[in-house]
Copies of this chain bind each other. A is one copy, B any other.
Amino acid sequence: MTSTSIKAVVLLSGGLDSTTTLAIAKHQGFACHCLTVQYGQRHAVEIDAARVIARQIGVEQHVVMPIDLRQFGGSALTGDIAVPKDRPLDSMSEGIPVTYVPARNTIFLSFALAWAETLGARDIFLGVNALDYSGYPDCRPEYIAAFEKLASLATKAGVEGTAFKVHTPLIDMTKADIIRRGLELGIDFALTTSCYDPTPEGLACGHCDACLLRLKGFAEIGISDPRPYAN
């Protein structure tokens, strides 16, 4: 990475989508500063995955930001609500499931914005997807546009003329498209973890929304998911 590269902040969870997003940002020539937010999620195994991925793909810097959303509760991913299993795929975009974490992407993007401004960057990458997804409101294009508008009003850089850009290269892609693009870019998907409810050893459950969407994506392109599953 040369010193003339344009800096970007990339939100990296350690999942399939954010890893592909990172590979795309890097392929586009950005100097990637990765941010992983450890928010008290059950699936903390993804933090370890993010560290390995950042090292393997090669990034300028990787910051893990611990915050404790369990203090608020209200989600199956941070509280005591059970993660739903074996939901029909065609019902996932109808209604918002209990795995929704209140204001999660707004918190993530706020941190990314703070770091971008400090770095002198205007580009933020977020691996949201509005097609094969769980119906979360903060994955929609209109939400992203509202955040970009806020970012320019919120910051010193914005007042001074910086138009922050939230890149969402996956937003219109199917899970199969994302996997295909990731494979083209050389991602080892065995390193990525998507499961909302992994075993203590980090094996994917195979039954939560995230596992079902991922398995469907691999099935569609006719290859098997290299990530180990519990059953």
Contacts and interface: CB of A to CB of B under 8 A. Distances in A.
A106 to B, nearest CB: 4
Interface stretch (A20-28, A154-162, A195-203, A215-223): A154-162
Interface string A121-141: 000000000000000011010
Q: Which 9 residue pairs of A and B lie closest in terms of their CB atoms, listed nearest first?
A: A74-B118, A103-B114, A102-B117, A102-B114, A107-B110, A106-B110, A143-B153, A146-B150, A103-B113
A63 B101 CA distance: 18
Contacts of A114: 69, 72, 74, 101-104, 106-107
Contact of A143 (B74, B109, B150): B150
A68 interface: yes
Contacts of A103: 110-111, 113-114, 117, 151, 154-155
Interface of A: 63, 65-69, 71-74, 96, 100-107, 109-111, 113-115, 117-118, 137-138, 140, 142-143, 146-147, 149-151, 153-159
B117 A138 contact: no
Given A102-B156, A137-B154, 8 more contacts: A74-B117, A74-B118, A102-B155, A103-B154, A107-B107, A110-B110, A137-B153, A143-B154
A96 B155 CA distance: 10
13 contacts: A63-B72, A72-B115, A72-B118, A74-B118, A96-B159, A102-B115, A102-B155, A104-B114, A106-B114, A106-B150, A138-B154, A147-B150, A149-B149
Given A65-B68, A67-B67, A137-B159, A105 B154 contact: yes
Determine the main DSSP class of A at the interface with B. Answer: helix
A94 to B, nearest CB: 12
A67 B105 CA distance: 16
- Residue of A101, A109, A154, A158 ringed by the most chain B CB atoms within 10 A: A154
A47 to B, nearest CB: 15
Nearest to A145: B153
Contacts of A68: 65-66
Contacts of A157: 102
Nearest to A74: B118
A138 B158 CA distance: 11
